[in-house]
Amino acid sequence: MRPGTVLRDDATPLYRPYENVIETWDQLHREIDQFGDIFHSEQFVWRGQSNAVWGLWSSLYRELARQLGKVPTEEDLVESERQLLTLARTEWRLDGVPALSLFGQMQHVGVPTRLIDATTNPLIAAWFAVSDRPGADGRLFAFTAKSTLQLNSRWNGNTPRWHRRLDDPTLADWGLGGGSWIWQPPALHARIPAQSAVFLLDGVPTEAGHRFPRLQPGSSSTYTAAQTREFASIPIRFWQIRLRGEAPSKGTVFTYRITAAAKHSIRHQLEKRFGYSFATIYPDIEGLAQYVRNTPESLIRGAIDTRR
């Protein structure tokens, strides 16, 4: 378990049977090209994590696990969201801002939400996977998109739509593994277009779900909902990446592990060839403040290095 929480500190047993390992920049580039060729008719979004063993959790899920001392449920997240919206609207005078828009703004300034950051650009996801923790392997995820939501009358209310999910038949798969909703938000923050940002939105895995991760490829045995919740705050079902294979079902996830030894060279290529650096990924004044906090030596002449 993670120190101070009840979540698993190593999700390797979940990932390893399905992962492809990337050891060089050329291999990363080739894998991304091949992935696009194999699943050319599918829509995917990508996520990078700088430590390959981490689970797939939202920031709110992690914080509630720490605060409550137990694996959170969907009801725990809903109650916390109600508290957060009340606080924002009464104390911070953010009344009148629709709930989903408010959560999107919160997410990009570090307030815990159930939203999980992702991107439509696999190279930006790779940058996140290699930009930190040089001694640890990084990880890439590719998620098939169930549906892209729009801020229409259904999603743009003051009450989050999923808080009334029992009365909404279009959310019948919420938390059941039918595929996460993908939200490509408006430019609520400068980082959103800079990162080609999208959010994954789904419910906590529930016992009624029918698409949980298999213990091994081809096995009929699966993780239970309770076991899945120790690794992930949304339903996930992994699939092996093959040169030839049937199209994935909605809700399928693919994963790559990037070795620690490959991180430096991959980051160098992403910065020099494509211009992805800390300054371009975090192009706002808050990004500059974060960079200086993380690298105080940048205040000394000759020590500035935006590759850190």
What's the rounded mean pLDDT across residues 277-300?
Answer: 92
Q: What is the mean pLDDT of the chain?
A: 90
Question: Which pLDDT value is given to residue 16?
Answer: 96
Model confidence, pTM: 0.92
Question: Which pLDDT value is given to residue 44?
Answer: 92
Q: pLDDT tens digits for 61-81?
A: 999 999 999 999 999 999 999
47: β partners: 141
Q: pLDDT tens digits for 99-150?
A: 999 999 999 889 999 999 999 999 999 999 999 999 999 999 999 876 788 8
What is the signed CA dihedral for 45, 140, 58, 116, rounded to 10 degrees? -20
Contact yes or no for 104/188 (Cβ under 8 A): yes
Question: Which pLDDT value is given to residue 152?
Answer: 87
Question: Which pLDDT value is given to residue 304?
Answer: 52
Contact yes or no for 36/111 (Cβ under 8 A): no
- Residues 17 and 183: their CA atoms lie apart, in Å, by 29
Question: Which pLDDT value is given to residue 138?
Answer: 98
Whose tokens are 């996830």? That residue is 253
Residue extents of the structural domains in the chain: 12-209+221-276, 277-308
Q: pLDDT tens digits for 156-201?
A: 999 999 999 989 988 988 998 888 999 999 997 889 999 999 999 9
Q: pLDDT tens digits for 18-48?
A: 999 999 999 999 999 999 988 888 889 999 9
